[in-house]
Chain A
């Protein structure tokens, strides 16, 4: 365990956040942090697809929404207790993810992006139009608060502690998964699929597994969200939601789980810092995304590995080898 901690300072930092309630007593702060926690899991799970494996899934809100609706329907319709609905919605979403993975295997880069955008819209339109099951555009109200045998989560502060457990567990599981062989195999697929195949990486099973695992965690996040807010509607799972999660992954750094934690935290907190400028919040949010990608192409994680590097890289960009003028100069 000490070795694991040394490799992963986030595993110490995350549980340490549990002392916050001793200093702060403000439901609004806890609410923002719970939402940030949900987005941390969402962006880590999307990073698995985009950042680690190079699968440009632009419809992550489809998995998020599937988990949320599955959990809400299981507890409202079948009366399942929260822990069972939580796990079941993760598993159901994983099955959905694997189902999506098989056709997605044929598509790459922008074609995969376009197809997953379409998938996101189809899921949202079905949630909107299947009035009998999903409540249609009005959504599903009255989702029960989580009952965890001994404790019942009611206040934002309770959810805050639950979110810490949730995020830490997801981070621990994903970072262990990506630690050795599997993480390297995924990055090999991302960097050169044919070379990866040549050295014996089973591309099909890795891609399918990654879709399943990513969808599993997105589904869990959806369930957590549904039982926290207690009301869900299709509007929460549209394309703008997918775009927000992608922005978090990009801000944190592609292929870096700790970066996703930071990216989700910052993009949840930055708009709140500018709350007093409420009319300008969206504007600042949009500019933030533009500037981050422009100035820190490797995200915050890439920048911490090589601080100051972005200045040099703009002059002598090794990601742009195909420009003949540059070749001639060097």
Chain B
């Protein structure tokens, strides 16, 4: 029982992590927030389904389509909502992303309809039972893909020139600019990467739960934002830790306390973290400057 809940928590945590990393990258660099991330996740998942129309019965094509579609939408988000307001009023981009989120939902609703769609073919990667808990190939693939991709992202941030530019931009936008870093390109890369991961998460979510629908990103993106805040918003490692923690806590609450209040727990944790330690688990608090 406990093992099964932990496994479910890891799966949910993997999906949260693919979303929360995007939130953290954007907040980390721009100190601004996007509300279209959940709908990029959703539209990415749907573009994965579109890829299947071209390459039927190829799970890899669906994954690639979802990543590519979401990455393009991420670039559009940055271009339409964030680039015009660089270091301008903090909340203007958030408002534009609210509009963009409505647009994305309306577009998918128009094209695909409001009904819930299953994944078009059965994904059978085998099924094993190890000491009482059953795990399917799709579940392992979800956790494995998420962990591999996130580890790759972590290595890229820690070890490459691009990662250095990203960290420098996050540390001080103007100083990085003066040092000759093309900050606009760094921001664009962060959006493309974060959104691509969200698209990957969207397709895995839809395939795992067998449900693709226009509002599929709304609740999960708010939870992923809670997870990113829990881990320390702006910190990619923190976002991943927060995501797995939240996924596991939620499943434990649902399994042992009450399934109705699993969502309440997520948001209660969010508010408690913000009140007790706004910097989250890994983040460092910023001092108020006069």
Interface residues of A (CB under 8 A from B): 50, 56, 103, 106-107, 109-111, 113-115, 117-119, 121-122, 125-126, 129, 194, 239, 243, 246-247, 250, 279-280, 282-283, 285-291, 293-294, 297, 317, 319-320, 322-324
Give the A-B pair count, Cβ closer than 8 A. Answer: 134
CB-defined A-B contacts under 8 Å, sample of 17: A56-B91, A103-B271, A106-B275, A109-B91, A113-B33, A113-B94, A118-B270, A118-B274, A129-B260, A279-B110, A282-B109, A283-B110, A285-B106, A289-B96, A291-B99, A294-B80, A294-B84
Distance between B173 CB and nearest chain A CB, rounded to angstroms? 8
Contacts of A324 in B (CB 8 A): 174, 177-178
Taking the closest CB of chain A, its distance from the CB of B30, in whole angstroms, is: 10
Q: How far is the CA of A129 from the CA of B268 in the complex (A)?
A: 15
B144-152, B159-167, B222-230, B245-253: which one contacts chain A? B222-230
Q: Which residues in window 244-290 of B have CB below 8 A to A? A: 260-261, 263-264, 267-268, 270-271, 274-275, 278, 288, 290
Counting CB contacts under 8 A, is B171 at the interface? no
B270 / chain A contacts, CB cutoff of 8 Å: 114-115, 118
Q: How many angstroms between the C-alpha atoms of A247 and B88 in the bound complex?
A: 18
B41 within 8 A of A: no
CB-based contact A111/B274 at 8 Å? yes
Who on chain B is nearest to A112 by CB? B274
Given contact pairs A115-B270, A279-B110, A286-B100, A320 touches B278 in the complex (Cβ within 8 A) = no
Q: Please, which residue of chain B has its CB at the minimum distance from the CB of A121?
A: B267
Does B185 have its Cβ within 8 Å of any Cβ on chain A? no
Please state if B222 and A121 are interface contacts (CB–CB under 8 Å): yes
CB distance from A271 to the nearest CB of B (A): 11
Given contacts A286-B102, A289-B96, A322-B174, contact A114 B267 (CB under 8 A): no
Residues of A within 8 A of B233 (CB): 114
Complex formed: what's the CA distance from A287 to B275 in Å?
35
Q: Are A247 and B98 in contact (CB under 8 A)?
A: yes
Interface residues on B, range: 35 or more
Would you call B101 an interface residue if the criterion is a C-beta within 8 Å of the partner chain's C-beta atoms?
Answer: yes
Knowing that A107-B278, A323-B174 are A-B contacts, what are 4 other residue pairs whose CB atoms are under 8 Å apart, sorted by A's residue number? Answer: A121-B222, A122-B267, A125-B263, A322-B174
- Tell me the B71-127 residues at the A interface (CB within 8 Å): 80-81, 84-92, 94-96, 98-107, 109-110
Q: Does B46 contact A (CB under 8 A)?
A: no
CB distance A290 to B99 under 8 Å?
yes
Chain B nearest CB, measured from A45 CB (Å): 18
Identify the B interface with A (CB < 8 A): 27, 31-33, 35, 80-81, 84-92, 94-96, 98-107, 109-110, 174, 177-178, 218, 222, 225-226, 229, 233, 260-261, 263-264, 267-268, 270-271, 274-275, 278, 288, 290
> Which applies to chain B's interface (DSSP): helix, strand, loop or mixed?
helix
Contact between A117 and B88, CB atoms less than 8 A apart: no
In the bound complex, CA of A293 to CA of B270 (Å): 29
CB-based contact B278/A106 at 8 Å: yes
Question: How far apart are A225's CB and chain B's nearest CB, in angstroms?
Answer: 22
Q: Of B92, B109, B271, which is within 8 A of A293 by CB? A: B92
Chain B contacts for A319, CB-based, 8 A: 88-89
Contact present for A129 and B261 (CB under 8 Å):
yes
Known: A289-B95, A293-B92, A317-B88. A115 touches B274 (CB 8 A): yes
A73 → chain B closest CB, angstroms: 20
Residue of A nearest to B234 (CB): A110
Contacts of B84 in A (CB 8 A): 294
Contacts of B105 in A (CB 8 A): 282, 286
Q: Would you give the shortest CB distance from A215 to chain B, in whole angstroms?
A: 17
Say whether B106 contacts A109, CB under 8 Å. Answer: no
Does B264 lie within 8 Å of A129, measured CB to CB? yes
Is the pair A110, B31 in contact by a Cβ cutoff of 8 Å?
yes
Min distance, Cβ A208 to any Cβ of chain B, angstroms = 16
CA distance A121 to B220 in the complex (A): 12
Q: Determine which of B31, B103, B229, B268 lies in contact with A114 in the assembled complex, contact meaning CB atoms within 8 Å.
A: B229
Distance in Å from the Cβ of A292 to the closest Cβ of chain B?
Answer: 8
Closest-CB distance, A24 to chain B (whole angstroms): 30
Inter-chain contacts of A280 with B (CB < 8 A): 106, 110
By Cβ-Cβ distance, the 10 closest A-B pairs, closest first, are: A289-B99, A286-B102, A286-B103, A290-B99, A282-B106, A283-B106, A118-B267, A118-B270, A293-B95, A129-B260
Identity of the chain B residue whose Cβ is nearest the Cβ of A113 in the assembled complex: B33
Given the complex, which residues of B lie within 8 Å of A291, measured CB to CB? Answer: 99
Residues of B within 8 A of A290 (CB): 80-81, 96, 99-100, 103
- Residues of B with C-beta under 8 A to A122: 264, 267-268, 271
| A239 and B222 alpha carbons, distance in the complex (Å) | 10
Q: Which residue of A lies closest to B289 (CB)?
A: A194
